[in-house]
Amino acid sequence: MIGSVHFQDRDPGTHWIKDDSLAIDSDGPLDSARTLTPNVVRVNGGYRLYYHGFGPGRPRSESSGYILSAFSEDAETWQKEEGVRIDAGGESAANCVWGPDVVSLSSGGYRMYFEGRTNQDDGRVKSVILSALSTDGLNWQQETGTRLTGEIVSYGAPRCIPIGSEGIHEKGGSRFRLYASASPFRQDRLKSDDSYTNCNIVSAFSEDGITFDLETGIRVVQDRDLESYSLYAPEVIQLGVGGYRMYYAGWMAAPEVPAGSPYHGRIFSALSADGIVWHKDPEICVDNGGKWDRAKASEPCVIDLPDGRFRMFYEACDYQGQWRIASATSIL
C-alpha cells in the first residue's frame, strides 16, 4: 500500500549532499534515450519510483515517452520493473506522457496525475494534466477528460496534495490542491532579448480530485536570472510543524556549453504558511556541476529515510545531453 505522500513531520531543509551512485541509469531498452521526472512513494516492503522513459524497446513506435517504475527496499538500490505503467496515445497525450505523481485514495487504490503532450499541426506542443487509476500501483487505466488545461497555456509537472476539511494534510483526503507548471503555449519560449519567459507555478483546487478550478494568482513567479528560461516542476510537502516546503527547478540559458545542453538547471526551494503565498529561499538546494548533472539538476522529489534523513531524487543531465535519475541526501 502506498503511504501518505507530500507530508513530512519536519522540514527537510535546504542543505543536501549529492549521493555517489545513480538511482536509475538510462541503460535499458525502454529508457536508454531518456530517463526523467522521478516520483517516489512508500509501498509495502520498500519504495516505488515512477519515472518517464524513452528507448528503442518502446511498445509503440508512435510514442515518444511513457511512464515506467522501479522498486527498492532501501531507497538506494533500485530494480527496474517490467513493462510500461502508462504509455502515450490516450486522450490529450498522443505523443508523450511524463511527470507522474501518485496519491492514495480514501476509497482505496491510487490515482496518478501526469502530464500529457500532443504535437500540434502548427509545430507547437500542448501539455495538459491528466490522471489514471490503479488498484495495485502497477496496472493503470487512464481516466477520461483533463484535470487541468488551458487555451493559451500548457500545464505540466503536477503535484497533488490531499487535504482534509480544515485544509490540513489528510492521508486519503477527499479534497485536493494541485500544483503545476504553467507556460505559454508556443513553440519556442526563449525570447531573442533573453527576457523572462512567463513560466511559473500555479495551483488549482478540487473537491473530488477530478474537477479542478484554477486558483487566482501565481504561487511561485519566475523573477530571478538563474530561472530566466524556465521555473517549473514543484515538489510540495506539507509540514507537521506547520506550513509547506516547496522544491522546484529553475533553468537559465547557458550558450557557452555544448549544443546538446544549452541550459543550466538547478533546484531551489520556497516556504509558505498556507500553501498559497510563497517566499523563495535565497540559496540553491542542488546545484548543477556534478558527475551526472554537469548541465542540469531538475524535477525534484523528496522522501524520508528510516534514519531520520531525507532523500531527494532528481533528473540529472550531463554535457552530452544524457539524462539519468540521481539523488541527494539531507544533512541531519
CATH fourth-level superfamily of 7-330: Glycosyl hydrolase domain; family 43 (2.115.10.20)
Confidence of residue 254 (pLDDT cuts 50, 70, 90): confident
Q: Which of 87-101, 217-231, 253-267, 305-319 has the lowest mean pLDDT?
A: 253-267
Interval 181-199: pLDDT, tens? 999 875 454 454 555 789 9
Give the residue with greater pLDDT, 310 vs 62: 310
Checking if the pLDDT of 11 tops 70, the result is yes
Interval 302-317: pLDDT, tens? 999 999 999 999 999 9
Checking if the pLDDT of 2 tops 80, the result is no
Q: Percent of the chain scored above 70 by pLDDT?
A: 89
Q: What is the mean pLDDT of residues 77-104?
A: 93
Checking if the pLDDT of 95 tops 70, the result is yes
**pLDDT for residue 166:** 47
pTM, rounded to two decimals: 0.93
**pLDDT for residue 304:** 95
Q: What is the mean pLDDT of residues 61-74?
A: 94
Cα torsion 189, 237, 163, 277: sign: negative
In degrees, rounded to 5, the angle at the alpha carbon of residue 173 between the alpha carbons of residues 50 and 110 is: 30
Q: What is the mean pLDDT of residues 123-139?
A: 91
Checking if the pLDDT of 172 tops 50, the result is no
Q: What is the mean pLDDT of residues 286-294?
A: 95
